[in-house]
Structure 1
Amino acid sequence: MTLSVDLNADMGESFGPWVMGNDGGLLDVITSANIACGFHAGDPDVMASTMALARDKGVGIGSHPGFRDLQGFGRRRITLPDASLANLVRYQVAASAGMARALGSELRHVKLHGAMANMTSENLHMARVCYEAALSVVPDTIIMVLAGTAQEQAVRELGCSWAGEIFADRAYNDDATLVDRSQPGAVIHDPAIAGPRMVEMVKAGAIITESGKRIATHIDTICLHGDTPTALEIAKSVRTSLQEAGIRVERLSGRH
């Protein structure tokens, strides 16, 4: 059986004249785009132009909701009542779905951003609140989850369409969560390391942690960040390494 995997990246994170990331370059490499909704980054014009470019390149469009935290880029942990958290997610997903529809496309998936993603990877109840909120707006969407975490447990309990994600440029703890960015070695900057590392994990069907522990999991998609100096080189290395290893790169499809 031929292995296959989706490649996704966070984008649409520019704001007005301030440019963040190389979205145009990444859209030539990836198969799914997680587009900011204006709360942690982005604005309506950036969202529209990024979605239009993704549509034209045949890249799947996804919503990337996060905390209302422009200054902290959505990476600061914020505690909210369940109802407020749910409405925060609904508001952003609805904006994404409406914009995609207006551009003659569709919203294919939802992926939480930053601190919201990290918190829901540790907290099952919070993950369910966020995902139920997203599904109340787009019931048939694919929920992209951090593989092997409370996020995956939440979508399994909800019975919705989902996809397990690993990161090409982030190190892992032994509980399948990401090593905090403040720690040395948390972010991988060397394309020569990132590509072969992803091939090893996809072939093993497992997350390989910093300690060498293997956590068996479904790997449906690989995240390639766009906001680091070597982001595009890492993306190209991962795609080339996968293809040379006989692993097919194709647009995301969900599992139940």
Structure 2
Amino acid sequence: MNDLFSLQNKRILITGSGQGIGFTMAQGLAKYGAEIIINDISGERAEKAAARLKEAGYKAHVAVFNVTDPQDVEQAIENIETGIGPIDVLFNNAGIQRRHKFTEFPVSDWNAVVAVNQTAVFLVSRAVARRMLSRQQGKIVNICSMQSELGRDTITPYAATKGAVKMLTRSMCVELARYNIQVNGIAPGYFKTAMTQSLVEDSAFTDWLCKRTPAARWGEPEELIGAAVFLSSKASDFVNGHLLFVDGGMLVAV
């Protein structure tokens, strides 16, 4: 039982981990012994992120591919499996945000958000799960959101995609659990990131957030690491189809 949360000998692919929350999770998972595969569409970002992990004494690799391109995804996963080793855990973390009023939302921005936040989760999960099936084991963690359950002004497609990923998580569980593959989601609340920086600096919004959230503050990205470790380790071997909200209590407050 002493190694319940150990990630030794676990190879973890994290999409969109060249920066932001993805990289923070990569650092946290590496500290528990995981071998990290950094993915980003930018080779420069991915290489810099992997170099930082290696400098800290961790095992890290780079996999540059476009998560929205089916052929690119399939080739990249094959390259990882044959060149680096089997993927034990997949984190579908890549995501983007676009903000417009619903009635003025450009179709191009809608399509971009759906491609990265929703379709990419399907594409990468499908490619990885095919290999996990033959091994009869694996874990897939989808990064969902408060908007998997709640709506908000100007981010309709984001909320729509995160709601879809919630149901994709549950449906994948139904099909894959019998093969000893656990599929779960982490749903962050409001965290201080580059994507939310403008909101953090908006005093009116931050005041509203602190009043709306029982913990009365923004979350720090490092506070997602515990959930990531849990869902990557044997501690979660009978947890499946679950969304773990890390939100300071926001979802349950009226």
TM-score class, shorter: 0.3 to 0.5
- Which structure has the bigger radius of gyration? 2
Structure number with the higher helix fraction is 2
Q: TM-score, normalised by structure 1?
A: 0.41
- Bigger relative contact order (CA 8 A; separation at least 6): 1
